[in-house]
Amino acid sequence: MRRRRRALVAFPRHRPRRLRSTPAIRRLVAQTSLEPRHLVLPMFVADGIDEPRPIASMPGVVQHTRDSARRAAADAVAAGVGGLMLFGVPRDEDKDAVGSAGTDPDGILNVALRDLAKDLGDATVLMADTCLDEFTDHGHCGVLDARGRVDNDTTNARYIELAVAQADSGAHVVGPSGMMDGQVAAIRDGLDEAGHTDVAILAYAAKFASAFYGPFREAVSSSLVGDRRTYQQDSGNLREAVHEIELDIDEGADIVMVKPAMSYLDVVRAAADISPVPVAAYQISGEYSMIVAAAANGWIDLQAAALESLVGVRRAGADIVLTYWAADVAGWLA
């Protein structure tokens, strides 16, 4: 005999608002947590500057000198931030067609990695962006062929050299971000052959061509003319993104990442549903800057909006979030 469904009453026995009545109850039943250990702070270290240089389109973020990077990194680690992702910004005169400054042991990124490895050791997870775009005079993420297109296999050979140089300099994690086919397998083989079997690979597995990268190009003093749509993914393609993630896992990625984060939470969720390895998401420059700009105009509360955005990325399934607010959030949550 079918049981009759209980009719709704004005005051049902189950009232969800009971579990929202105080901050302590809300904290007790929270289904998604945001902690400093979940966060990675991206940092830009520039060659040829004597003082930190503000990035106009990213208020509150700077191109660091080597010394200021050391101080900021130490402060972030002391606050409990989970890791640091370093980007090098060479002088324009040091850029060339193959990004030689990226593999030069005395290039700014490798020198900065050695600085922080010496200062911090294993107290943090030191990551390096393993890409050529900051170091090339054309601004693309790879080596160009005679027709001006990015050559996949030649670029992968350069990525191996980049990854080994970064590992030699003290990186715990290398982050290939150029979206070349086969880049993870090539780098894994190269690291292993160089004796860096313990260095992990954070693969930018689903990196989309996005309008939200604009401020980042100022941050790294990019020389890019045009776009990167021949190798970064189309924003409408979820199945393709899942396929890219699966390929990188099969090639040996230790962590897979979705970039950007906030406009691609469905991709983060899809990655979390299939991935046996940790999933990261990058809250990119434009996502950061639009919240800062709205707060500067008095339209939203900066801290509340930043925290809400990060909880959203975590709720979608990200184990790790790269965000320019990482150190700030650690202070807010203390």
Enumerate the active-site residues: 207, 259
Task: Look up residue 3 and give its DSSP letter.
Answer: P
Residue 11 bridge partners (DSSP): none
**Residue 187 near residue 201, CB atoms below 8 Å:** yes
Query: How would you class 307 by CB atoms within 10 Å of its CB: exposed for 0-12, middle for 13-18, buried for 19 or more?
Result: middle
User: CA gyration radius for the chain?
Assistant: 21
Q: Tell me the C-alpha to C-alpha distance, in Å, between residue 225 and each of 87, 148, 217.
A: 20, 12, 11
Can you tell me the distance from the alpha carbon of 127 to that of 123, in angstroms, rounded to the nearest whole number? 13
Can you tell me the distance from the alpha carbon of 94 to that of 125, in angstroms, rounded to the nearest whole number? 28
Start-to-end Cα distance in the chain = 56
CA angle, corner 69, sides to 67 and 75, nearest 5? Answer: 110
Can you tell me the distance from the alpha carbon of 166 to that of 109, in angstroms, rounded to the nearest whole number? 8
Q: Name the pairing type of β-strands 125-130 and 255-259.
A: unpaired
Can you tell me the distance from the alpha carbon of 314 to that of 35, in angstroms, rounded to the nearest whole number? 10
Can you tell me the distance from the alpha carbon of 167 to that of 30, in angstroms, rounded to the nearest whole number? 39
